[in-house]
């Protein structure tokens, strides 16, 4: 969005860039309001889908996502980076936590960050 080398960019250039990005984002927000109006969330549909997938309970809400991501990563690297099919169900939560003990750290406020950071920096070679 700026056609200058980094050392030649001035404060005025950055302010213009900021203003352009702000205008584009505001236009997108205005368009979304026109499209979705005052009801951007479709709670009826959400609850219908939630009930349909009740067997996958902890995984269809944000607090279950670390379990899915950890299990996927474990299986993905175990199968030499081939497509993976996860078997998820209500009781698979315990199995996943036993096979991926690091997932427990996601549920420990603040102190859980320590093992997650150690693991993250230890696996720098992973994509």
Query: Binning pLDDT at 50, 70 and 90, where does residue 42 land?
Result: confident
Contact by Cβ (8 Å): 79, 105: no
pLDDT score, position 57: 85
pTM, whole model, 2 decimals? Answer: 0.57
Query: Binning pLDDT at 50, 70 and 90, where does residue 123 land?
Result: low
pLDDT score, position 55: 82
Q: Is the pLDDT of residue 11 over 90?
A: yes
- Reported as a single tens digit per residue, the pLDDT across 63-120 is 889 999 889 988 888 888 888 888 887 778 888 999 889 899 999 999 999 998 998 8
Contact by Cβ (8 Å): 100, 70: yes
Both tokens of 78, joined, read: 């175990």
HEC string of the chain equals CCCCCHHHCCHHHHHHHHHHHHHHHHHHHHHHHHHHCCCCCCHHHHHHHHHHCHHHHHHHCHHHHHHHHHHHHHHHHHCCCCCCCCCCCCCHHHHHHHHCHHHHHHHCCCCCHHHHHHHHHHCCCCC
CA distance 22 to 25: 5
């Amino acid at each position: 969005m700026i056609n200058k080398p980094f050392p030649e960019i001035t404060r005025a250039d950055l302010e213009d860039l900021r203003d352009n990005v702000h205008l584009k984002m505001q236009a997108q927000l205005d368009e979304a309001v026109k499209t979705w109006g005052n009801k951007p969330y479709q709670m009826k549909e959400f609850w219908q889908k939630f009930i349909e997938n009740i067997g996958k309970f902890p995984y269809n809400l944000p607090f279950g996502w670390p379990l899915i991501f950890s299990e996927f990563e474990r299986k993905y690297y175990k199968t030499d980076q081939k497509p993976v099919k996860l078997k998820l169900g209500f009781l698979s939560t315990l199995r996943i936590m036993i096979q991926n003990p690091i997932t427990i750290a996601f549920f420990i406020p603040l102190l859980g960050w320590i093992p997650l950071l150690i693991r993250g920096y230890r696996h720098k070679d992973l994509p």
